[in-house]
Amino acid sequence: MKLALPRDYARKVWRAVVEFDLLEEGDRVLVGFSGGKDSSFLLYALKVLQNSAPFRFDLGAVHVDLGFEQLSDVPHLEEFCRQLDVPLTVQKTQIAEIALRRSRNNPCASCAYFRRAVVNEIAAGQGYNKVAYAHHNDDAVETFLMSQLYSGKIQTFLPKSYLDRTNITVIRPLVYLREAEISEFVQTLQYAPMPSPCPFQGKTYRHKVKELIESLTRENPFVYTNLAAAMRRDALGDLWPPAASREEMRQKHQRTMRPAAGDDHVHSE
């Protein structure tokens, strides 16, 4: 396979790598490879980068079969990795069943948690020091809004985070790419991304938030970029202080009710 990335794509991946210090000489990077468009693009983009970067790093891929009714097309994934000359590990699991048992209506949190644990364990076991995920800019913005709507928190995932329990650093080199750009490029590859086997695809909270952002952006084209700008730490404006505890409230109440010194002398007839 002849490997090349359009200049604009390469620039965005490189910007993330440099700005967030994602890669360095001697890294061993394991890519979480579902076989879908995003992770296929990530694997391809990192391979291009590996061929052109001024430093050496190793690449591997791991596919976690979640155990949905529709099985992963492993030969298809193996062929893509063979063309990229990237070693692939396939791990079969029963994560779907466990996640569904825990929460039939919203299995995503458990599913993602267990999948990450499997990937981290394989990375640590095979001597990788970094795990790369294909989360892109739309994912970051959607997570940012989801956190506020469903968890009451102002946060999103980081481009780079260190997991001290496993000594693994998680990197997300696609954070500056939009989902539509990735879809467009993947169509030019001689590789059909594997459709998601998950029956919850399109029915998740993430999907609702994606539709909400799209619909608001149709009314105001700046909605998406404003949300993206609000993810930066320096975008924080005035926020309320943390809610006072019962004890703090009791003390504040006493202070408020206590008469000011000398109050009982000021009354005149």
User: Measured between alpha carbons, how far is 195 from 187 in angstroms, rounded to an integer?
Assistant: 14
Interface pattern 136-175 for ligand SF4 (x via CB under 6 A): ----------------------------------------
Min CB(200)–ligand SF4 separation in Å: 4
Among 13, 22, 111, 231, binds ligand SF4 (CB under 6 A): 111
Q: Which residues contact 84 (CB under 8 A, 6 or more apart)?
A: 1, 3, 43, 44, 47
Closer of 9 and 200 to ligand SF4 (Cβ): 200
Query: Is 112 a binder of ligand SF4 (CB under 6 A)?
Result: yes
Whose tokens are 């995920």? That residue is: 133
Packing angle of the helix pair 37-52, 74-84 (nearest 10 deg)? 20
Q: What phi and psi values does residue 36 have, to the nearest 5 degrees?
A: -75, 180
DSSP string, 82-151: HHHT--EEEEE--HHHHHHHH-SS--HHHHHHHHHHHHHHHHHHTT-SEEE----HHHHHHHHHHIIIII
Candidates 22, 182, 200; CA nearest to 111 is 200
**CA 240 to CA 95: how far, in whole Å?**
40
Do strands 58-65 and 160-163 pair parallel, antiparallel, or not at all (unpaired)?
unpaired
- Compose the 176-215 pattern: x for residues touching ligand SF4 by CB under 6 A, - for all others: ----------------------x-xx--x-----------
By beta-carbon proximity to ligand SF4, the closer residue of 57 and 68 is: 68
Binding part of the chain for ligand SF4, among 106-114, 123-131, 212-220, 245-253 by CB under 6 A, reads 106-114
Please list every residue from 211 through 240 that binds ligand SF4, using CB under 6 A: none
Interface with ligand SF4 includes 107 (CB under 6 A)?
A: yes
Does position 29 bind ligand SF4 by CB under 6 A?
no
With binding defined as CB under 6 A, does residue 94 bind ligand SF4? no
Least Cβ distance, residue 47 to ligand SF4 (angstroms)? 25
Binding footprint of ligand SF4, residue count (CB under 6 A):
10
